[in-house]
Amino acid sequence: MPFTLSRILGVTPNPTGQAAIDPGAILAIERQVADMIALAEDLGATAILPDLEKCSLAAARAADCLARNQPLPDTAALRHDLRNHLGAIAGYAELILEEYGTTLAATLANAITELRGRATATLDGGTWERPVTAVAPSQMRQAAPGTLLVIDDSEHSRELLQRYLARQGHRVLTATSGIEALEILGRMPVDLIFLDLVMPEMSGLELLSRLKADPLLRAVPVIVISGISETSGVIRCIEAGAEDYLNKPFNPTLLQARLAAGLERKRWHDREEAYRRELERNQRFIRNTFGRYLSDEIVDALLESPQGLRLGGSACTVTILMADIRNFSWICENHEPEQVVQLLNNYLGAMSSVVMAHNGTVDEFIGDAILAIFGAPVGREDDALRAITCALGMQEAVTGINTRNRALGLPDIGIGIGLNTGKVVAGNIGSERRSKYGVVGHTVNLTARIEAFTEAGETLASESTILAAGATVETGRRFTAQPKGMAGEVTIYSIAGIHQDALLAGGDIDSDSDNP
């Protein structure tokens, strides 16, 4: 069966049966281009000769495609090639009219208009009629300039698209294959990709799949522009992640609309990515800042709360832990400053780990003193119990600290710990430029006074802490005292330990003595 353009190009014959055009239609276009070149030379229109010569080359290649009157070994490939060549003729004619139309003689302009129409009609398998006026470029939605990548093994197709896009103010990169495209994408970012399907080495569909599988490239919109027009091919591209699909030769109005929409989506994505990166930077800052003093769980809770770092505070019930080194003044007086700093680093580092292991907040280091909070910024029912357990763990940790101190020629230390439970105001204190998380209130002051009663290795707690612990707490001495600056007396207990059933609700206070 002889070839017909309707069979090869995949169009439906019109009712008159005129769609089955023989290869003579393309030969006629080839002769028309030759005549037009001669006319341009006669009229001195030398500026358009390079584009007309490209039309001539495209027409010759199209004629060569149909010179074989034999069964087609690859109809799809031949159809793709024919659409490329005929589309190139129509595209170059369009470019000539857009770039030089106002300066051409009417005879030459009409001839180029006719050439464009005949190439388009032949491509569609019909007869040529003078086209209606197209939408002017100024009436189209203009896309903001971007960096675009055109991937096509056809030199004419690449140049046509590149010139059209460059006239819109875009930066246009080109690649002749999928391999070259991946190399370009590995070196520089692009905002949108135009992709042909039929290419050597790597098909457009394969490249599209690789792009969408790459986390760094999957957000780049891809518009397929191809000579393959079957619905199945379009569906495969859309399923693979293509933004849109246009047939060759491209319709400038449709292309402009698809381009503007694709670039807008890419810019929205870029803004979202920038916002996400800013959030990640802020979270890293918060985690790095608070992570030295808070457990990971508490830092996560802070990050989840949009109000977590605002100035101000709120009333809450907490258990305050305050610890310091007994006889620290003597240590400072009898050792070099460098030794004192080394001793403090050993001590504070180990104690901070113990506090965070019990989900406490290391609020402040004041010389050798540690102020820790249980119940802020995240409160729990067992805050008091965890504070007591933490204090016992800190006393146990002193043994390891002293072992390291002796190895470094530093003195042994002993610490006293005070605990108190009550109302405070917790929040960010300071100014917009400089602030810290902390607690204020009578409860904090009373904790310091209780801690002042301790001996080395001793942990003292107020009655409010013992009651709030909700567990069987082993206590040693019990006494009442009126701390300095306080209006009344308080009952204070020495903590000896916690029974194994400490995690059970309830419990009694077990005291051994009423004497200090």
> Within a domain: residue 96?
yes
Are both 399 and 497 inside the same structural domain?
A: yes
Q: How confident is the model at residue 346 (pLDDT cuts 50, 70, 90)?
A: very high
Q: How confident is the model at residue 23 (pLDDT cuts 50, 70, 90)?
A: low
| Confidence at residue 124, expressed as pLDDT on a 0 to 100 scale | 66
Question: Domain count of the chain?
Answer: 3
Q: Give the mean model confidence (pLDDT) for residues 99-117.
A: 86
Q: How far is CA 127 from the centre of its chain?
A: 52
Phi-psi region of 50 (alpha: psi -120 to 50; beta: other; left: phi over 0): alpha
pLDDT, mean over the chain: 81
Strand blocks (E) in 125-197: 147-151, 171-175, 192-195
Are both 172 and 208 inside the same structural domain?
A: yes
Express each pLDDT in 281-299 by its tens digit. 877 777 776 666 566 666 7
Are both 310 and 448 inside the same structural domain?
A: yes
> Within a domain: residue 288?
no
Q: Would the pLDDT of 74 be above 90?
A: no
Longest dimension (CA), the chain: 123
Q: How confident is the model at residue 511 (pLDDT cuts 50, 70, 90)?
A: very low
Are both 261 and 194 inside the same structural domain?
A: yes
Contacts of 145 (CB under 8 A, 6+ apart): 168, 169, 170, 171
Q: How confident is the model at residue 69 (pLDDT cuts 50, 70, 90)?
A: very low
Structure tokens at 415: 């610490």
| Confidence at residue 344, expressed as pLDDT on a 0 to 100 scale | 95
Question: What type of residue sits at position 341?
Answer: V
Structure tokens at 325: 């080194």
Q: Which residue has the higher pLDDT, 8 or 196?
A: 196
Q: Which residue has the higher pLDDT, 114 or 389?
A: 389
| Confidence at residue 290, expressed as pLDDT on a 0 to 100 scale | 67
Are both 66 and 168 inside the same structural domain?
A: no
> Within a domain: residue 287?
no
Structure tokens at 223: 């518009």
Q: Which residue has the higher pLDDT, 169 or 397?
A: 397
Residue where a domain stops, chosen among 124, 149, 172: 124
| Confidence at residue 192, expressed as pLDDT on a 0 to 100 scale | 95
Highest mean pLDDT among 192-201, 423-432, 445-454: 445-454
DSSP element (H, E) containing 434: none
> Within a domain: residue 10?
yes
Are both 499 and 400 inside the same structural domain?
A: yes
| Confidence at residue 302, expressed as pLDDT on a 0 to 100 scale | 66
Are both 318 and 450 inside the same structural domain?
A: yes
Residue where a domain stops, chosen among 76, 93, 124: 124
Highest mean pLDDT among 102-106, 247-251, 474-478, 512-516: 474-478
Are both 311 and 214 inside the same structural domain?
A: no
Are both 361 and 504 inside the same structural domain?
A: yes
∠ CA 508-509-515 to the nearest 5 degrees? 160
| Confidence at residue 386, expressed as pLDDT on a 0 to 100 scale | 95
Q: Would the pLDDT of 311 be above 60?
A: no
The residue range of the domain holding 262 is: 137-270
Q: Would the pLDDT of 481 be above 60?
A: yes
> Within a domain: residue 285?
no
- Pick the range with the lowest mean pLDDT from 57-71, 176-190, 252-266, 376-390: 57-71
| Confidence at residue 138, expressed as pLDDT on a 0 to 100 scale | 47
Q: Give the mean model confidence (pLDDT) for residues 338-345.
A: 95
Are both 95 and 209 inside the same structural domain?
A: no
| Confidence at residue 127, expressed as pLDDT on a 0 to 100 scale | 45
> Within a domain: residue 412?
yes
Q: Give the mean model confidence (pLDDT) for residues 119-142.
A: 54
Are both 501 and 390 inside the same structural domain?
A: yes
Contact 515, 477 (CB under 8 A): yes
Q: What CA–CA distances, in Å, run from 285 to 279, 282, 292?
A: 10, 5, 12
295 phi, psi to nearest 5 deg: -70, 160
Q: Give the mean model confidence (pLDDT) for residues 442-462.
A: 95
Residues in the chain: 516
- As to burial, measured by CB atoms within 10 angstroms (0-12 exposed, 13-18 middle, 19+ buried), residue 250 is buried
Q: Give the mean model confidence (pLDDT) for residues 257-266.
A: 89
> What is the b/e burial string over 373-386, where b = at least 16 CB atoms within 10 angstroms of the residue's CB?
bbbbbbeeebbbbb
Q: Give the mean model confidence (pLDDT) for residues 85-106.
A: 85
Q: Give the mean model confidence (pLDDT) for residues 300-329.
A: 79
Q: Which residue has the higher pLDDT, 157 or 316?
A: 316
Are both 346 and 323 inside the same structural domain?
A: yes
Q: DSSP letter at 141?
A: P
| Confidence at residue 100, expressed as pLDDT on a 0 to 100 scale | 87
> Within a domain: residue 229?
yes
Q: Which residue has the higher pLDDT, 79 or 318?
A: 318
| Confidence at residue 19, expressed as pLDDT on a 0 to 100 scale | 39
| Confidence at residue 89, expressed as pLDDT on a 0 to 100 scale | 85
Contact 40, 108 (CB under 8 A): yes
Express each pLDDT in 151-180 by its tens digit. 998 888 888 888 888 878 899 999 999 999
Strand blocks (E) in 375-489: 415-430, 435-440, 459-462, 473-481
Express each pLDDT in 217-260 by its tens digit. 999 999 998 877 667 778 888 888 898 888 877 777 888 888 98
Q: DSSP letter at 387?
A: H
> Within a domain: residue 16?
yes
Q: Residue 322 belongs to a domain with what CATH number?
A: 3.30.70.1230
Q: Give the mean model confidence (pLDDT) for residues 311-329.
A: 89
Q: DSSP letter at 419?
A: E
Q: What CA–CA distances, in Å, run from 39 to 36, 46, 105, 107, 121?
A: 5, 10, 10, 9, 23
Separation of alpha carbons 141 and 267, rounded Å? 16
Closest C-alpha to 116, from 252, 5, 13, 260: 252
Question: What type of residue sits at position 5?
Answer: L
Residue where a domain stops, chosen among 232, 253, 270: 270
Overall pTM surpassing 0.85 (yes/no): no
